[in-house]
Amino acid sequence: EREAKGMKEIAIQEKDLTLQWRGNTGKLVKVRLKNTRAMEMWYNKQITEENIQEITTLNIIKNGKSLALEVYPEKSIYVKPNLGRINVPVF
């Protein structure tokens, strides 16, 4: 996690995310943190309901490579999970 001039960048392993794609266009619609990783990041205060809208870049890491995605902070929210008690962040 890095901070620079009020903007926040966070890196997460691809295996800790659920990616939702738009069918025929191949456009990434949503990135949702899986429950166990969400709980860990919430506990460590890396992503909270107070700071989720400060995150502007999401780095997805897979096989040692990173892909930086721009996040629309105004669309970043916490949602109730299918299972578990802690709300999970969605970008």
- Residue 26 scores a pLDDT above 90: no
Q: Which domains does the chain have, with CATH numbers?
A: 2-90 (2.40.450.10)
Half-sphere exposure of 90 (CA within 13 A, CB side): 14
**Of residues 49 and 14, more confidently modeled:** 14
Number of helical (H) and strand (E) elements in the chain, helices listed first: 1, 8
Is the pTM for the entire model greater than 0.85?
no
- Residue 4 scores a pLDDT above 50: no
How many angstroms separate the Cα of 79 from the Cα of each of 8, 14, 85? 21, 19, 11
* Residue 54, C-beta contacts closer than 8 angstroms, at least 6 positions apart: 6, 7, 8, 73
**34-85, pLDDT tens digit by residue?**
888 888 888 888 888 888 889 999 999 999 999 999 988 888 888 876 666 7
Residues 7, 56 contacting (CB under 8 angstroms): yes
- Residue 3 scores a pLDDT above 70: no
